[in-house]
């Protein structure tokens, strides 16, 4: 049965029963989510903390000296967004510790999405995996920033139902970095038998195709799942779904 939102729109009734519950049941998904985030950051971040372009997992284009510093900034701030975002979506923490929620929210936005999103705007158009990835990542960066700005504005106006909906979308986009790694493995496995046929023996062309498809799939699918999840859970007091 769908949970209702009160018509003041100032707080999400969807959260209320979940928030009042002890954290035990929510830990069943919060802990795995945090674990995935910690493992991802623990693997992805360290080579970039050395500030040595030689240790970059991606090719650093010599013609664009700004690429590497922007990539490092993006990964550091992206890591903050990923870890803080996991805490932001934990209903118990949100309801029982609103001050902590506000601080992790500030970390998510001002130490994560905003600087990470701006930095990646200088990286995405230069992606080594080709035009499809470049367009997909630039679009993702723009939406990542736009959803976070919308969520922040709603919070400032104390429109907390809309705030929560925008932040769920924002976090779905943040999580797309993790989904991306799964999609790329799937697509490489699918396309590997076609290297000699479709790609005329050019393995790099196959990798570019797999990378481009996974960039798009990672955020489009995550966003669709977020919309489905929001619509499934939320109806306002008149039984209608909120507009934003
Ligand atoms: C959601 C918006 C995001 C966008 C648009 C984005 C975009 C990009 C782009 C364009 C690159 C460079 C790819 C290339 O040059 O081929 C990159 C690399 C990277 N990004 Fe993001 N990213 C996002 C979120 C995140 C988050 C939240 C993290 C969390 C840590 C992250 C971690 C990384 C890492 C680790 C790399 C380097 C890849 C590697 O070392 O294998 N990104 N990202």
Q: Catalogue the E-assigned strands of 101-173.
A: none
- The Å distance, Cα 91 to ligand 1 centre, comes to 27
- The Å distance, Cα 127 to ligand 1 centre, comes to 10
Query: With 70 as the cut, is the pLDDT of residue 191 above it?
Result: yes
- The Å distance, Cα 35 to ligand 1 centre, comes to 19
- The Å distance, Cα 236 to ligand 1 centre, comes to 37
What is the pLDDT at residue 10? Answer: 40
Q: How many CA atoms lie within 13 A of 23 on its CB side?
A: 13
Helices (H), 89-202: 91-96, 98-108, 114-121, 131-156, 160-174, 176-191
pLDDT in tens, 98-154: 999 999 999 999 999 999 999 999 999 999 999 999 999 999 999 999 999 999 999
**Average pLDDT value for residue range 170-189:** 98
Residue 37 is encoded by which pair of tokens? Answer: 């985030």
Going by alpha carbons, the residue nearest to atom 13 of ligand 1 is 127
pLDDT in tens, 204-229: 999 999 999 999 999 999 999 999 99
**Average pLDDT value for residue range 36-61:** 97
Cα separation, 206 vs 198, in Å, equals 9
CB distance 180 to ligand 1 below 6 Å: no
**What 3-state class would DSSP assign to 72?**
helix
Mutate to test the pocket of ligand 1, among 50, 55, 137 (most ligand atoms within 8 A of CB): 137
The confidence band for 238, taking pLDDT boundaries of 50, 70 and 90, is low
What is the pLDDT at residue 14? Answer: 43
CB distance 77 to ligand 1 below 6 Å: no
Mean confidence (pLDDT) of the chain: 90
**Average pLDDT value for residue range 19-29:** 73
Mutate to test the pocket of ligand 1, among 47, 69, 120 (most ligand atoms within 8 A of CB): 120
Going by alpha carbons, the residue nearest to atom 33 of ligand 1 is 75
Query: With 50 as the cut, is the pLDDT of residue 16 above it?
Result: no
- The Å distance, Cα 188 to ligand 1 centre, comes to 19
Helices (H), strands (E): how many in the chain?
A: 11, 2
Query: With 80 as the cut, is the pLDDT of residue 5 above it?
Result: no
The confidence band for 50, taking pLDDT boundaries of 50, 70 and 90, is very high
**What 3-state class would DSSP assign to 36?**
helix
CB distance 148 to ligand 1 below 6 Å: no
CB distance 124 to ligand 1 below 6 Å: yes
CB distance 113 to ligand 1 below 6 Å: no
What is the pLDDT at residue 11? Answer: 42
CB distance 123 to ligand 1 below 6 Å: yes
Pair 134, 125: CB distance under 8 Å = yes
Rounded to 10°, the helix 203-233/176-191 angle is 140
**What 3-state class would DSSP assign to 114?**
helix
């Amino acid at each position: 049965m769908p949970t209702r939102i009160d018509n003041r729109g100032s707080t999400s009734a969807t959260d209320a029963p979940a928030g009042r519950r002890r954290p035990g049941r929510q830990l069943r998904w919060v802990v795995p989510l945090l674990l995935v985030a910690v493992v991802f950051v623990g693997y992805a971040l360290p080579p970039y903390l050395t500030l040595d372009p030689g240790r970059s997992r991606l090719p650093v284009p010599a013609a664009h000296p700004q690429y590497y510093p922007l990539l490092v900034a993006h990964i550091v701030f992206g890591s903050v967004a990923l870890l803080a975002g996991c805490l932001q979506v934990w209903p118990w923490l949100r309801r029982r510790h609103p001050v902590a929620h506000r601080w992790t929210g500030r970390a998510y936005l001002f130490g994560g999405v905003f600087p990470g999103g701006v930095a990646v705007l200088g990286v995405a158009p230069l992606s080594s995996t080709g035009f499809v990835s470049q367009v997909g990542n630039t679009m993702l960066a723009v939406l990542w920033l736009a959803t976070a700005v919308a969520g922040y504005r709603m919070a400032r106006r104390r429109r907390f139902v809309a705030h929560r909906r925008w932040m769920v979308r924002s976090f779905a986009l943040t999580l797309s970095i993790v989904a991306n790694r799964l999609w790329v493995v799937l697509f490489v496995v699918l396309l590997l038998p076609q290297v000699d046929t479709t790609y005329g023996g050019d393995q790099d062309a196959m990798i570019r195709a797999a990378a481009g498809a996974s960039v798009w799939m990672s955020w489009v699918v995550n966003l669709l799942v977020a919309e489905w999840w929001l619509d499934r859970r939320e109806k306002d007091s008149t039984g209608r779904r909120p507009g934003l």
